[in-house]
Amino acid sequence: MSIKIDPTKIKPYGDSLDDGRMQISFALPAPADEKGKEAARLLLKKMGLENIEVCYYSDLGEGFTHFVAYVSTNATIDLTKIEVKTVDTPVMDLEETDKFMAENVKRKITVVGACIESDAHTVGIDAIMNMKGYNHRFGLERYQYFRTINMGAQVPSEELLAKAVEENADVVLVSQVVTQKNIHIRNLTKLIELAEAEGLRDKMLFICGGPRISHELAIELGYDAGFGSGSYATDVASYIAFHFAK
Amino acid sequence: MSIKIDPTKIKPYGDSLDDGRMQISFALPAPADEKGKEAARLLLKKMGLENIEVCYYSDLGEGFTHFVAYVSTNATIDLTKIEVKTVDTPVMDLEETDKFMAENVKRKITVVGACIESDAHTVGIDAIMNMKGYNHRFGLERYQYFRTINMGAQVPSEELLAKAVEENADVVLVSQVVTQKNIHIRNLTKLIELAEAEGLRDKMLFICGGPRISHELAIELGYDAGFGSGSYATDVASYIAFHFAK
Amino acid sequence: MIQLTIDTNKIKEARNYAAKIVNSLTWLLQDYTSTTIERTVLRLMGIDGIAGDNTPIPNLVVEHLQQKKVLNRGAAYWLANAIVAKNLSAQEVAELVATNQLDLTEISAQPNQKVLEILDKISSENLAKIAEQRQIRQQAFEKYGRRNKPAIYVIVATGNIYDDVVQAKAAAREGADIIAVIRSTAQSLLDYVPYGATTEGFGGTFATQENFRIMRKGLDEVGQELGKYISLTNYASGLCMPEISAMGALERLDCMLNDAMYGILFRDINMKRTLLDQYFSRMINAYAGIQIQTGEDNYLTTSDAIEKAYTVTASQLINEQFALISGIEHKNMGLGHAFEINPAIENSFLYELSHALLTHTLFPDCPTKYMPPTKFATGNIFRTYLLNGMFNFVGQITDQGTQLLGMMTEAVHTPHLVDRALAIENAQYVFNATKDFKNEFTLKPDGIINKRAKQVLEEATDFLRKVSEKGLFQAMSAGEFADIVRTETGGKGLDGVLPKSEDYLNPFMDKMKTELKLQ
Amino acid sequence: MIQLTIDTNKIKEARNYAAKIVNSLTWLLQDYTSTTIERTVLRLMGIDGIAGDNTPIPNLVVEHLQQKKVLNRGAAYWLANAIVAKNLSAQEVAELVATNQLDLTEISAQPNQKVLEILDKISSENLAKIAEQRQIRQQAFEKYGRRNKPAIYVIVATGNIYDDVVQAKAAAREGADIIAVIRSTAQSLLDYVPYGATTEGFGGTFATQENFRIMRKGLDEVGQELGKYISLTNYASGLCMPEISAMGALERLDCMLNDAMYGILFRDINMKRTLLDQYFSRMINAYAGIQIQTGEDNYLTTSDAIEKAYTVTASQLINEQFALISGIEHKNMGLGHAFEINPAIENSFLYELSHALLTHTLFPDCPTKYMPPTKFATGNIFRTYLLNGMFNFVGQITDQGTQLLGMMTEAVHTPHLVDRALAIENAQYVFNATKDFKNEFTLKPDGIINKRAKQVLEEATDFLRKVSEKGLFQAMSAGEFADIVRTETGGKGLDGVLPKSEDYLNPFMDKMKTELKLQ
Ligand code: B12
Ligand code: B12
Ligand SMILES: Cc1ncc(COP(=O)(O)O)c(C=O)c1O
Ligand SMILES: Cc1ncc(COP(=O)(O)O)c(C=O)c1O
């Protein structure tokens, strides 16, 4: 005998199969006393949760109270039905990509990249584009078949596209790190709409990246691909190489 | 202008009024990758949550993954409608209680207490009953009008009741600290049912306590009063004093 | 290492008082036995299983002998006598007794020579099994490398042994060195060891031989995968100390919670019973190469950690002496202490550090077991996580043997899968980030830390002197330990204590004594 | 205190190079002005408000003068000339200009004496307002006691000034000493200061004079209730450095993020522009008794914290020299540094400690500003909470002036109410629990910590020598700073830099220089 998980009905796990246990922490505009605690409990109950244990509360001042609770959910998910769009080209290392491109692409691919609009977090795009790279993986600049132009921080969408046209870019790379109030969605949408309006959308590969970007989200926003936290130049280079080999 | 909270519709607060923001952490039997992350997101969505941001995941081994997420709930609570049963006798200090009992009770009240059944956590009941007390509040033993018998740990319900009868107790104190799988409910229910069966329920005051006990829960289980975390002998003494003054 | 400036003569003085306290109990340890010890002898003879009302056969046999008032000759003798007479195996004899088909006292006395021969054979065979487990452990450590220091020790406590295995394996993958399967709340006062695999417990899982086996197997599997030997521990405490030790020795547990006085003080078990039981229990652990661990942290869950710090030191010294007379080497004495000072106190961290250094200074060769903050955990999981980090820091810079990781959900529930993983991550980060911290600093001789350590040692010495003058039993009766009053005739299990007769036989104890070079 | 064993001559050498670097820029600082400086002069003359397309009036007036190519005489002159001529207030004149009803260059030149008189009057009156704020602050500290050390510094960043006030007041109640209102992402590249109360920003709230006023009022209220002076800070950076400083001086901010080179390196603002702007900006802060804080942590968010530790030290020394020539006293120099080493590195904590000690050793009289781990925050809020605790520990034992508290939700979002409260609880626990730790230990002279500190100082000295030889501008053009290439003619805002004419007037700068005893 052993514990058996049904993948069609997975549930959070605390210490017993399917106990549905979750930890929740939040502030409420409620007093730091039994009444506030009851408000917290009722709120969690209203959210459909069970076995609610409000294990801690503390006065935050200004009429707010912090609550920590453990609860059980009844929700389940069918793991077998989940499909996520992920970049599915194989990942090659630098030498392999160089070799692959020498054989299958046979020309330099021009890549123009930037942190657009209000965003100045360049570390991510630098990690992908610049010589030095990230975590011991060199950036695109180091590859034999990429010509890279990294425009840096807070580049207006218009300027990025103008540069892409000027340089006859094959690929546009866009980074968005700040996500507060979905500003990244706003900025990414602006760029892609501009590209469409200017008839550039289908002439270049549009790739975005950032800690809250997934390939799925990128596709949804009209990009060709998206790369999230922990992606490396190797991922991006391989993807581009395969694209231009076709 | 300033932010204004409607007490009839309170909601969790992250950094903007009514943003409904909450932090959630849990394990799922799902892989530590984009697919698992999507499963986590869908689960939270199924729970009725919005603006789901799964900000972290990590492989726990054995097919489980830990997820941390920030989400928004739409649930609201009417704070003005919440009523909690709390012990509502005023709280007097040791001297006041002594004086009050000298004037209004005029006899020694016998209190028999124990950690019952499987529970051996005596620190809580000792804090209430023993001379030394807790956090600079002396225990009932120190009061002029209490005679206390503390039976200690893992006392079978039968023994506690037998002792109460033997000592002609006015009050029975019960402590329950372990709550795993609701063992405290089981134990407390057992005691009160036994007391009823033996016709003792209405002859004595039954008071329970422990970190997960509220007055409300105590009443629900058939006790006269319940005391949770952070209660002191002063609370319990005052409550008993007022009871016997009536 | 960060060194305290402590007079070694002071340490000697304290240690001498502890030795005096322990040595004054020879009369008890040599001349008495207990029902548990006898059940253990039966288990070591290979007797297992349940009968009747799910009662373990060792219990039924010992009850039978007790009823017949012949237990003081030792269960081994009666079994051997029957084995010789009936030409049956020990298990077969025991089963007949357990099912009331055989009265051991009715069998005529067989030639002494024969009885001794058969006992020699059975005990040799069964001790060999334990020795084999010891060797397997030793080889595994040789192959995979020694245990980390501080070893990462985490508990699993789901109540269901199968869930426990999942959690334990996950923990091993994350970096745990030692897995403790916490026992269900009520087990320690049971005067028998439950049988078979169990799936329901409260705040813990029952300690049974089958559960030991299941967990050992799981850990061996994951260990092989990881190229690391994962240690397993449980609790030889309560009313069945030596039985659990015997089971642990047979199923290759690697450590054992096994305190000389915990049962008396914190479980109200009779003092004679506990002291007798721990004596044999520890001998088994010594023989099996199992590291014992003690429970000094318990003093601080009921008393104030500053006011009563000396009780920890005193208990460590007493536990050390009890361990020595059972044959436990210092390298297998996991003496306990804890990080339990109210975090709101100014300089609380300095006091914690001082106490931990004192433990290390007194027992430089022991793999001391350091317990996490629990008492001041509030349910604020973030704060508790931080407290655990500070605790891990002290553990690393004071070179503790075993770090029992704190859980952020202390004061809420026994650890969930996530809690444990985060606890391990916490310890790994702190251990690694502060690795050589201890070699960077010299402690000022007249600072808060040194002064505090000196004071605690002094208080402990005074206390031990007093106890050594009064005698341990009298001191306990006077409530000198943890303000808890325990009397020689009070507590649970006294009815299981009996004097040995002149012709008492316990071949296991004899052989182990010889091998461990004890008198 | 824990003391590093560092040769004071080495420190002097490094400091001399930094002084040489800064002193070689006198030509720029004395002979040039900028549009921002002129707008600041207008603000200091009492001009406020917006006109036309929501453009601040100071901008409109300066643009007018720039367009007329007469700005190099100083905006003060032109305003004063009109005031004298028209007998209007400064504000009235500015409004007429802003609404295109008046061309300042068309007014005939008034008697010099009169112009100087009116400027003397206006500048005296307005500087008195700043002096009064300085005094209110001073009195409050006298009444309530000095700021804690390390001061607990937390940010609010909701985007909505009214939410910010709620969060700031809550933080004050929980124990915050300094509240920073983080600016919206895009503000620093705006070449004007937005106007009025604002309720929408991204990752921060716009810095406006009205927002300053609203927050100051909120903090004074809660401070009075608590019997404590709560400090307020904002960012004098980007294209409007001195304007923000002027607003802060008038609205009684108490600290100001105000780095000499941050704008150049991290915002690609032209180097002449930034250096000019910071010069005047810091003078205003000096006059207002506002503590400046610098941004050396930024080097480590883009570069490796071990490899590039020396850039922090070098920048601190340069920032110190720039501060000195603007009249900032050491007690008001909040030089920055950070806890940003990859936590997975063995002994990372020792390196962090070493770097923090080095900062303290070089600037013993400065209230250094210590920045929390951010780069290696992963979204694992528990781990980040622990990292923040270790950071707080270093802050306490190395006597930092200001501890900018880390938030467990670093890498997730700008702090929620709960995050901030937990951060304060974290710091308070660690500060209190380790209060006298620093007095307990002596550092081994040849340990990892000392060796590391020496190495960093040496690297910084070498670097400063190189820069002092090349010149700051040339070094920046060669990418010597943070591997970022910035040229003398590149970057934003160069069009706002202009040489002063012979008859240039800036009564505020003149008066402040006199009072601050600068040449
Ligand atoms: C460093 C940093 C800064 C530095 C940036 C320096 C620089 N030159 O980049 C400075 C100090 C300037 C800064 C400023 C600010 N920051 Co900041 N910053 C960070 C920090 C600490 C680290 C980010 C980082 O460098 N990560 C490391 C890189 C390698 O990871 P990455 O960006 O995710 O990139 C990887 C992938 O995402 C992907 N990727 C990224 N881009 C792209 C593009 C393509 C095409 C591809 C294929 C892949 C890809 O590949 C990379 C490698 O794996 C984060 C917190 C954190 N720990 O994440 C906050 C953080 C991002 N900052 C934040 C904020 C709010 C700000 C400010 C707005 C604060 C303020 N009000 O002043 C300003 C805004 C500046 C601006 N205009 O954008 C918030 C954002 C909150 C949110 N969710 O919206 C964060 C999360 C901190 C927080 N908790 O509040 N910041
Ligand atoms: C100390 C302690 C122990 C000590 C107890 C010593 C003793 N003599 O009491 C020892 C080491 C023996 C112990 C053992 C165990 N413990 Co324990 N223990 C704790 C600990 C650390 C502190 C409890 C405590 O003393 N609190 C201080 C007192 C003053 O607070 P209190 O009990 O809440 O009492 C106050 C109020 O509740 C109230 N009150 C309480 N009782 C009463 C009664 C009346 C009548 C009134 C009016 C008021 C009142 O007034 C008190 C004063 O304010 C908690 C964790 C924690 N931080 O809370 C775990 C904890 C309670 N233990 C736990 C567990 C699981 C165990 C064990 C089962 C572990 C095991 N498998 O071996 C055993 C079981 C023992 C048993 N049979 O019950 C779990 C319970 C999990 C759960 N939610 O069910 C906890 C929460 C730890 C954890 N996270 O896993 N434990
Ligand atoms: C020394 C010691 N033994 C045993 C236990 C387990 O308790 P019990 O034996 O009562 O199950 C503990 C628990 O903390 C302990 O510290
Ligand atoms: C020194 C310094 N100035 C200013 C800022 C704020 O950035 P910005 O001026 O670009 O808004 C920071 C942010 O980290 C900083 O470190």
User: What residue ranges do the domains of chain C occupy?
Assistant: 31-124, 144-449
Instruction: Please tell me the distance between residue C237's alpha carbon and the centre of ligand 3 in angstroms.
Output: 6
Per-residue pLDDT tens over the stretch A197-217: 999 999 999 999 999 999 999
* Strand arrangement of the beta sheet that strand C369-371 belongs to: C333-334, C291-293, C255-257, C231-235, C178-181, C151-156, C402-404, C369-371, C336-338
Instruction: Give me the mean pLDDT over the D74-103 stretch.
Output: 98
User: Would you say residue B92 has pLDDT above 90?
Assistant: yes
Q: Where are the beta strands (DSSP E) in chain A?
A: 21-28, 50-61, 64-72, 109-115, 146-150, 171-175, 205-209, 225-227
Q: Could you tell me which chains touch chain B, where touching means 3 or more CB pairs under 8 A?
A: A, C, D
Q: Which ligand is nearest to the CA of B174?
A: 2
Q: CB–CB of B77 and A7 under 8 A?
A: no
Per-residue pLDDT tens over the stretch D153-194: 999 999 999 999 999 999 999 999 999 999 998 899 999 999
Query: What are φ and ψ of residue C458, in 5° steps?
Result: -60, -45
Please give the pLDDT value at position C206. Answer: 97
User: Would you say residue B1 has pLDDT above 60?
Assistant: no
Chain D contact for B53, CB < 8 A?
A: yes
Give the side-chain half-sphere CA count within 13 A for D123.
21
pTM: 0.97
Look up A132 and say whether it is catalytic: yes
Kindly list the residues from chain C whose CB atom is less than 8 angstroms away from the CB atom of residue B60: 170, 174, 417-418, 421
**Ligand 3 pocket check for C204: Cβ under 6 Å:** no
CA-to-CA separations, D517 to B54, D127, D131, D282, in angstroms, rounded: 56, 16, 16, 14
Q: Which ligand is nearest to the CA of A185?
A: 1
Catalytic residue among A9, A45, A106, A132: A132
Give the largest Cα separation in chain A, rounded: 72
Q: CB–CB of D386 and C441 under 8 A?
A: no
Instruction: Please tell me the distance between residue C404's alpha carbon and the centre of ligand 3 in angstroms.
Output: 14
Please give the pLDDT value at position B86. Answer: 87
Q: How would you label D148-174 residue by residue, b for 16+ Cβ within 10 Å and e otherwise?
A: bebbbbbbbbbbbbbbbbbbbbbbbbb
Please give the pLDDT value at position D175. Answer: 98
Instruction: Give me the mean pLDDT over the A70-92 stretch.
Output: 94
Fold observed for domain B1-80: Defensin A-like (3.30.30)
Per-residue pLDDT tens over the stretch B230-239: 899 999 999 9
User: Would you say residue A1 has pLDDT above 60?
Assistant: no
**Ligand 3 pocket check for C277: Cβ under 6 Å:** no
Considering only residues 404 to 423 of chain C, which have any Cβ-Cβ distance to chain B shorter than 8 Å? 411, 413-414, 416-418, 421-422
Task: Give the pairing of strands A21-28 and B21-28.
Answer: antiparallel
Instruction: Please tell me the distance between residue C165's alpha carbon and the centre of ligand 3 in angstroms.
Output: 21
> Which of C185, C308, C414 has the most B C-beta neighbours within 10 Å, making it the best mutation to test the interface with B?
C185
Please give the pLDDT value at position C202. Answer: 85
Q: Could you tell me which chains touch chain D, where touching means 3 or more CB pairs under 8 A?
A: A, B, C
Cα A106 to Cα A112: distance, rounded to the nearest angstrom: 19
Question: Shortest CB distance from A21 goes to which of B26, B35, B37?
Answer: B26
Per-residue pLDDT tens over the stretch B162-206: 999 999 999 999 999 999 889 999 999 999 999 999 999 999 999
Averaged pLDDT of chain C: 97
Kindly list the residues from chain B whose CB atom is less than 8 angstroms away from the CB atom of residue A35: 79, 82, 84
Kindly list the residues from chain D whose CB atom is less than 8 angstroms away from the CB atom of residue C386: 385-386, 389, 426, 429-430
Please give the pLDDT value at position D482. Answer: 82
ipTM of the complex: 0.96
Give the bridge partners for D32, in sequence order: D499
Chain B contact for A219, CB < 8 A?
A: no
pLDDT in tens, chain C (519 residues): 899 999 999 999 999 999 999 999 999 999 999 999 999 999 999 999 999 999 999 999 999 999 999 999 999 999 999 999 999 999 999 999 999 999 999 999 999 999 999 999 999 999 999 999 999 999 999 999 999 999 999 999 999 999 999 999 999 999 999 999 999 988 999 999 999 999 999 889 999 999 999 999 999 999 999 999 999 999 999 999 999 999 999 999 999 999 999 999 999 999 999 999 999 999 999 999 999 999 999 999 989 999 999 999 999 999 999 999 999 999 999 999 999 999 999 999 999 999 999 999 999 999 999 999 999 999 999 999 999 999 999 999 999 999 999 999 999 999 999 999 999 999 999 999 999 999 999 999 999 999 999 999 999 999 999 999 999 999 999 999 888 899 999 999 999 999 999 999 999 999 999 999 997
User: What residue ranges do the domains of chain A occupy?
Assistant: 1-80, 94-244
Cα D74 to Cα D33: distance, rounded to the nearest angstrom: 8
Please give the pLDDT value at position B2. Answer: 67
Please give the pLDDT value at position D1. Answer: 85
Per-residue pLDDT tens over the stretch C237-270: 999 999 999 999 999 999 999 999 999 999 999 9
Cα D513 to Cα C115: distance, rounded to the nearest angstrom: 108
Instruction: Please tell me the distance between residue C382's alpha carbon and the centre of ligand 2 in angstroms.
Output: 20
Q: At a CB cut-off of 8 Å and minimum separation 6, what does D308 contact? A: D299, D300, D482
Q: CB–CB of B47 and A48 under 8 A?
A: yes
User: Would you say residue B246 has pLDDT above 90?
Assistant: no
Cα D48 to Cα D59: distance, rounded to the nearest angstrom: 10
Q: Give the pLDDT band (50/70/90) at residue D94.
A: very high
Q: CB–CB of D165 and B2 under 8 A?
A: yes
What top-level class would CATH report for the domain C144-449? alpha beta
Instruction: Give me the mean pLDDT over the D87-116 stretch.
Output: 97
Please give the pLDDT value at position A2. Answer: 67
Per-residue pLDDT tens over the stretch B192-202: 999 999 999 99
Instruction: Give me the mean pLDDT over the D40-55 stretch.
Output: 97
Of A148, A177, A215, A219, best ligand 1 pocket probe by most atoms within 8 Å of the beta carbon: A177
Please give the pLDDT value at position C186. Answer: 82
**Ligand 1 pocket check for A182: Cβ under 6 Å:** no
Instruction: Please tell me the distance between residue B122's alpha carbon and the centre of ligand 2 in angstroms.
Output: 7
Task: Give the pairing of strands D291-293 and D333-334.
Answer: parallel
Query: What are φ and ψ of residue C46, in 5° steps?
Result: 105, 10
**Ligand 3 pocket check for C370: Cβ under 6 Å:** no
Q: CB–CB of B15 and D411 under 8 A?
A: no
The domain made up of A94-244 is a member of CATH 3.40.1080.10: no
Query: What are φ and ψ of residue D269, in 5° steps?
Result: -95, 145
Averaged pLDDT of chain A: 95
Q: At a CB cut-off of 8 Å and minimum separation 6, what does A99 contact? A: none
Cα C315 to Cα C324: distance, rounded to the nearest angstrom: 14
